[in-house]
Amino acid sequence: MWPSRSKATSDGVAGGRSHCTGTGAALRAPVWSEGADTAELGRILSSDCWKQSMANAGAIMLDSGRPSQTITSTMQRSFLAATGLQRLSDVSLGMLDEIWLLAAAVNKEVCGAVGLPMRHWSRLCPKAIFENNWASEWSSPMTHPVADRTCMHPPKHARVRASTTAKRLALVVAFALSVFWSHVINT
């Protein structure tokens, strides 16, 4: 699935020992599938963002009362450079579907390597997106798309929906803040 840089079966980060999830549960040393990019997946598993997102709690719904954050032009340029696209609007619904399918595969690989079931989408959402509303600009009344916790579920999720424009913005933020989402976008 991913290009392998090593035939190792455990990441060098854990050093072959069990490590803590941040929730008090010890995990086994990662055992990666054949061909897995062990270095990159090990970075995801050991990243602060991955650990912090386990604490995401609360309803998955729009809430204008959350703190407002601004998506910078640097964040957008970095995302566009990584995707090879000219404009954010070039990210199609089909591309979004493919990104979330890949995210599910990475989720399965990372969690399976340490003996855990796949994480729920809300626990793949970077904490900064889960706890804030993000937009490229803010106005009153708000007339611009807003990225928030509802945007980090797959495009065709049965219960949690967000506009394609808002999902694009959420991916820009997730790419900038999360090793997991950066890996997904760069793959």
Name the pLDDT band for 26 (thresholds 50, 70, 90).
Answer: low
Q: What are the pLDDT digits (tens) for 122-140?
A: 999 999 999 999 999 887 7
The predicted pLDDT at position 158 comes to: 79
Q: Quick one: 104 exposed, middle or buried, by C-beta within 10 A (0-12, 13-18, 19+)?
A: middle
β-strand pairing of 68-70 with 133-135: parallel
Give the DSSP H/E element, type plus range, for residue 180: helix 179-186
Least confident range of 59-63, 71-75, 102-106, 140-144: 140-144
pLDDT score at 145: 85
Residue 16: pLDDT over 80: no
Average per-residue pLDDT for the chain: 84
Q: What is the pLDDT of residue 34?
A: 92
Report, as an integer, the average pLDDT of 103-130. 94
pTM for this prediction: 0.82
pLDDT score at 62: 84
Q: Is the pLDDT of residue 4 over 50?
A: no
Burial class (CB in 10 A: 0-12, 13-18, 19+), 3: exposed
- State the average pLDDT over residues 24-40: 82
Residues in the chain: 187
Q: Sorting pLDDT into bands at 50, 70 and 90, what band is 96?
A: very high
